Amino acid sequence: MKEIVIISGKGGTGKTSITGCFAALAENAVLADCDVDAADLHMLLAPQVMETTDFISGHQAVIREDDCTACGICMEKCKFNAINLTEEGKCRVDPYSCEGCMVCVQVCPVNAIDFPDSLCGEWYFSHTRFGPMVHAKLGIGQENSGKLVSTVRREAAAKAKELEKDLVIVDGPPGIGCPVIASITGASLLVVVTEPTISGKHDMKRVLELAKHFSIPALVIVNKWDINPEMTQEIEKDTVAGGAHPVGRIPYDRSFTVAQINGRTLVEEKTGQAVENITTIWEKIWQTIK
Amino acid sequence: MRIAVASGKGGTGKTTVAVALTLASQEPAVYADCDVEEPNGSIFLRPEVDRVEKVLVEVPEIDESKCNACGDCARFCQFNALVSFNTPPLVFSDLCHSCGGCELVCPTGAISWKKVPVGEISFGTSNGGRISVIQGKLDVGGSLAPPVIRQVKAQLTDDVFTVVDSPPGTSCPVIESLGEADYVLLVTEATPFGLHDLKLAVETVRELGTPFSVVINRFDEGDSGVEDYCASEKIHIMVRIPHRREMAEAYSRGGNLFDAIPEMLDVFRNIPVTIEKGVEV
């Protein structure tokens, strides 16, 4: 079983629209959306949810105000400034600042702090017109997005095994931090979608450094390449210098937006230069990995 | 006044708006780049950087001569940053949240703290010194953005007009960036993805209780979903930025919004005034 992860560093380069096209072109794949805090792939693939599972990860400190003596030791020991005094003179945990470290529970002299499991979101197993899909929704402001990403990848791999699929296609999150690292470690191949802008180039370089750091081979697509052909060339040079390979260019095409509005992938929406390029790119990716 | 510029979806023009807001201000201003995984504000503001500070976090260091290999620290750690097999623990610094719990439970006083770098903060000025640019940057391979964001925020004061460029999404780094802002501008685009992620961002800001309004970028390019949603939720639309190919091209070269669409300058000058007057949701 092979796993391809599509990432971008910078947001808005067309990563999800292109992932949707790959989902349509792949023949025997499981799809996974690891962009768990702003997941959009489902808007192109219209998954029919078959199973929903709570994602419980970590804990949350909760002070029983009736038992709290407001001695302030927890406030003093909390490294996240997550505990404040209420107007009634009791200690209260701000759930958005609490990282669930349990230090307050440990130091409270009257055992007034509970430490329940934290419900951080949910994940789904679904059917789409292109095959099975695993996706998730992280609760607002929740920690543990990295662990939810790992859960989505693990469940997608398990489904691939169970259903005898030979490929998992992962739509990854933007950035280079915790959820991105959780999305790419151990993957067979990274496909980086960038755009010919200074920001796109800057962010792509950081993503390629990350790929190198984890020794994962990477291919680079320049989307909207004709917005700045010189920058496209520079990016392709930087790709090679960064130890990766350019795999193709896709022109700026307003039809991506139209397809999105219609809830379809571009390859279903129309034919044309962009679709031809995406099809060729997909064939190259498949040749690289199979 | 501190205005945070955020968006659920990446690539909607968040940095473009944050930079424009800073440039439009006629008073001294601070641009704080809290999008520390991919900080891009400096591409457009081109500050002269005068100093760079490392962001250090504390991680445990085990004195093996004192450690009795009881494993209490590893059992206590909620982040699996310490692992012990009846041995002195191995420390996985990348997972450590620096909470201090392991030291607290160690019965033999074998744990002390050492500082490790996770990123850096640069300080510079732009526009002849009128704009101070403070940029946080997470080291490649580092996973914890919040400590870098916290350190950027620690540099900010209340007495100067400040624009915070937040990371995309809705998880912990975003919450960290939006904290203590007086006002949030949520940047979106007129597409189904833009609308879907705007709804998440609105939910986030409403949870925090900070007043906010919406900026629609490329408002004339997609569909009317965002407009309809804002109308039904009674959310004020602060600015509508038109789609122009010139903007995409200027942006690709590091140009700002006013290079491509000069008539936007007056609109952006007016934003802080409108906020002062108290346009809320």
Q: Does the beta-carbon distance from B191 to A261 stay under 8 Å?
A: yes
- Comparing A113-122, A141-150, A196-205, B140-149, which segment has the lowest mean pLDDT? A141-150
Q: Does the pLDDT at position A172 exceed 50?
A: yes
**Residue of chain B minimizing CA distance to A173:** B169
Nearest by CB to B200, from A9, A38, A254: name it.
Answer: A38
Interchain CB contact of B125 with A (< 8 Å): no
**Contact flag A199-B170 (C-beta cutoff 8 Å):** no
CATH 3.30.70.20 residue ranges for chain B: 64-109
Task: Return d(Cα A46, Cα A129) in angstroms, integer.
Answer: 8
Q: Which pLDDT score is estimated for A116?
A: 96
* CATH topology classification for B64-109: Alpha-Beta Plaits (3.30.70)
Contact B43 A12 (CB under 8 A): no
- Give B 218-277 residues with CB within 8 A of chain A: 221-223, 245, 248-249, 251-254
> Which amino acid is present at A102?
M
Contact call for A79 and B38, based on CB within 8 A: no
pLDDT digits (tens, 9 = 90+) for A85-110: 999 889 999 988 899 999 999 999 99
Number of Cβ within a 10 Å radius of residue B189: 27
| Torsion of Cα atoms, B32 then A228 then A170 then B14, to 10° | 30
Of B40, B143, B222, the CB nearest to A202: B40
Say yes or no to pLDDT of A270 above 90: no
Say if the Cβ atoms of A257 and B191 lie within 8 Å: yes
> Average pLDDT, stretch A234-247?
98
Chain B residues near residue A199 by CB distance under 8 angstroms? 15, 38, 40, 43, 251
Strand A189-194 and strand A218-223: the pairing is parallel
Please say whether the beta carbons of A59 and A106 come within 8 A: no
Could you tell me which of B210, B267, B249 has the C-alpha nearest to residue B24?
B267
Closest residue in chain A to residue B98, using alpha carbons only: A79
Query: Percent of chain A having pLDDT more than 90?
Result: 91
pLDDT in tens, chain B (281 residues): 999 999 988 899 999 999 999 999 999 999 999 999 999 999 999 999 999 999 999 999 999 999 999 999 999 999 999 999 989 999 999 889 999 999 999 999 999 999 999 999 999 999 999 999 999 999 998 888 999 999 999 999 999 999 999 999 888 889 889 989 999 999 999 999 999 999 999 999 999 999 999 999 999 989 999 999 999 999 999 999 999 888 988 999 999 999 999 999 999 999 999 999 875 44
Report the pLDDT value the prediction gives residue A178, as an integer from 0 to 100. Answer: 87
**CA dihedral sign of residues B199, B204, B206, B207:** positive
pLDDT score, position A38: 86
> In chain A, what residues touch B138 (CB-CB under 8 Å)?
176-177
Most A-contacting residue of B252, B257, B259 (CB-CB within 10 A), to test interface: B252
CB contact under 8 A, B40 and A10: yes
The pTM (predicted TM-score) of the whole model is 0.91
Set of chain A residues whose Cβ sits within 8 Å of the Cβ of B207: 96, 140-141
Q: Are B105 and B125 in contact (CB under 8 A)?
A: no
Contacts of B229 by beta carbon, 8 Å cutoff, 6+ apart: B195, B198, B199, B235
A60 to chain B: nearest residue by CA? B78
Identify the helix (H) or strand (E) that includes residue B135: strand B131-138
Contact B105 A231 (CB under 8 A): no
What would the DSSP string read from start to end of B153-212?
Answer: HHT--TTSEEEEEPPSSSSHHHHHHHTT-SEEEEEEESSHHHHHHHHHHHHHHHHHT--E
Question: Chain A closest CA to B123's CA: distance in Å?
Answer: 19
**Nearest chain B residue (CA) to A262:** B192
In chain A the domains, ranked by start, together with CATH numbers, are 2-48+122-289 (3.40.50.300), 61-115 (3.30.70.20)
CB B31 within 8 A of CB B134: yes
Residues of A in contact with B40 (CB under 8 A): 10, 198-199, 202-203
CATH 3.40.50.300 segments of chain B: 2-55+119-276
Contact of B79 with chain A, judged by CB distance below 8 Å, is answered with yes
Q: Which CATH fold would you assign to the domain B2-55+119-276?
A: Rossmann fold (3.40.50)
Any CB–CB contact under 8 A between B155 and chain A? Answer: no
Q: B163 near B44, Cβ under 8 Å? A: no
- Contact yes or no for B100 and A146 at CB 8 A: no
Token pair of B10 as six digits: 């990446």
Size of interface A-B (CB pairs under 8 A): 177
Question: ipTM of the predicted structure?
Answer: 0.90
> In the structure, what pLDDT confidence band is assigned to residue A121 with cuts at 50, 70 and 90?
very high
Label residue B65 exposed, middle or buried (CB < 10 Å: 0-12, 13-18, 19+).
exposed
Radius of gyration over alpha carbons of chain B, in Å?
22
Instruction: Note whether A174 contacts B168, CB cutoff 8 Å.
Output: yes
Say whether A140 and B207 touch across the interface (CB within 8 A). yes
Q: How much of chain A is helix, strand and coil, in % rounded to 5?
A: 40, 25, 35
Please give the C-alpha separations between residue A285 and each of A10, B9, B140, in angstroms, as whole numbers: 21, 27, 26
Closest CA to A173 of B8, B190, B144: B8
pLDDT band with cut points at 50, 70 and 90 for residue A143: confident
Please tell me the predicted confidence (pLDDT) of residue B281.
Answer: 40
**Testing the interface with A: which of B73, B177, B193 to mutate, by most A Cβ within 10 A?**
B193
User: pLDDT digits over A46-66, tens only?
Assistant: 999 999 999 999 999 999 999
**Which of A145, A206, A228 minimises the CB distance to B171?**
A145
Chain A closest-CA separation from residue B33 CA (Å): 14
Q: Do B141 and A59 touch (CB under 8 A)?
A: no
Confidence of residue A140 (pLDDT cuts 50, 70, 90): confident
For residue A155, the distance in angstroms to the closest alpha carbon of chain B comes to 22
Portion 167-186 of B in contact with A at CB < 8 A: 167-175
Question: pLDDT per residue over B179-236, tens digit each?
Answer: 899 999 999 999 999 999 999 999 999 999 999 999 999 999 899 999 999 999 999 9
CB-based contact B99 A203, cutoff 8 Å: no
- What is the C-alpha to C-alpha distance for residues B117 and B278, in angstroms, rounded to an integer? 41
